[in-house]
Amino acid sequence: MIRIGIVDDKKNNRIILADKLRRNNLFDVRLDAANGEQFLQKMMELKFDERPEIVLMDLEMPIMDGIVTIATGSSLYPGVRYVVLTTFDDDDRIFNAIKAGACGYLLKEESGEIIADILVNLWTNGAGPISPSIAYKILQMIQNPPPVKLPLAGKKSENLFQLSEREKEILRFLCQGLEYKEIALKLSISANTVKKHVINIYDKLHVNSKGHALHIAYTKNLL
């Protein structure tokens, strides 16, 4: 049984999709959330071996949209694979979703069988599921990179996590392996303040330790 999570703001969509998947008994749909925040919340509550292995994620959601959710989720739970399921193949979103860490991109219109097929393939081979028309778009984007839009290489990505300047500054020091005291000294502020900033950073990154924060900082190019 492959453990599946479904995140979509429309309850009906979740039900239909879960039904589609449950029809063959390879899937165990065990997480169901209406938005990103709810999803992260529920993930936190699950033990390691109860978490879904594959998460199907809608992009358009209130409160916390799919891209941000994937970005944080894929850093928090690197073992989980995120597959974007959407109704329209919108160029910008594709690219952003991929950058955020989605490992596949499917159109909702695909039949239940195709989706099931593709998820099984993802699970067994690790091969990323991509609808053909999406794959083609990706190729085109590589061949003709959109004007400036998205810096492919190590450029700093736009402020995905809404960190303030000060917070970014402190995150950079943190990434160099400095501890609170040392950062405080460098910035001529109190170590308590540094700590407060760090906690605020964790909140924005949805993490709760230095390790996780650095992981996100390094993998999402926040420096």
Residues found near DNA in the complex (CB under 7 A): 164-167, 179-181, 184, 187, 189-190, 192-193, 195-199, 202, 208-211, 213
Partner whose footprint covers residue 201, from DNA, its own copies, none (CB < 5 to 8 Å by kind): none
What is the smallest separation between the CB atom of 67 and DNA, expressed in angstroms?
21
Are the CB atoms for 41 and 35 separated by under 8 Å? no
128-136's contacts with Cβ under 8 Å and 24+ in sequence apart are: 128/103, 128/104, 129/83, 129/103, 129/104, 129/105, 130/104, 130/105, 130/106, 131/89, 131/105, 131/106, 131/107, 133/89, 133/107, 134/89, 134/94, 134/105, 134/106, 134/107
What is the smallest separation between the CB atom of 180 and DNA, expressed in angstroms?
4
In the complex, which residues of this chain contact its own copies (CB under 8 A)?
A: 48, 75-76, 78, 95, 98-99, 101-104, 121, 125-130, 132-133, 135-136, 138-139, 142-145, 147-148, 152-154, 174-179, 182, 185-186, 207, 209-216, 218-219
Are the CB atoms for 7 and 61 separated by under 8 Å? yes
Integer Cα distance of 213 and 219 in angstroms: 10
Integer Cα distance of 5 and 51 in angstroms: 8
Partner whose footprint covers residue 164, from its own copies, DNA, none (CB < 5 to 8 Å by kind): DNA
Are the CB atoms for 210 and 174 separated by under 8 Å? yes
What is the smallest separation between the CB atom of 141 and its own copies, expressed in angstroms?
9
Partner whose footprint covers residue 199, from DNA, its own copies, none (CB < 5 to 8 Å by kind): DNA
Cβ proximity to its own copies: between 158 and 211 the closer is 211
What is the smallest separation between the CB atom of 17 and its own copies, expressed in angstroms?
21
Let me know how many helices (H) and strands (E) the chain has, helices first: 10, 5
Partner whose footprint covers residue 132, from DNA, its own copies, none (CB < 5 to 8 Å by kind): its own copies
Partner whose footprint covers residue 176, from DNA, its own copies, none (CB < 5 to 8 Å by kind): its own copies
What is the smallest separation between the CB atom of 28 and its own copies, expressed in angstroms?
21
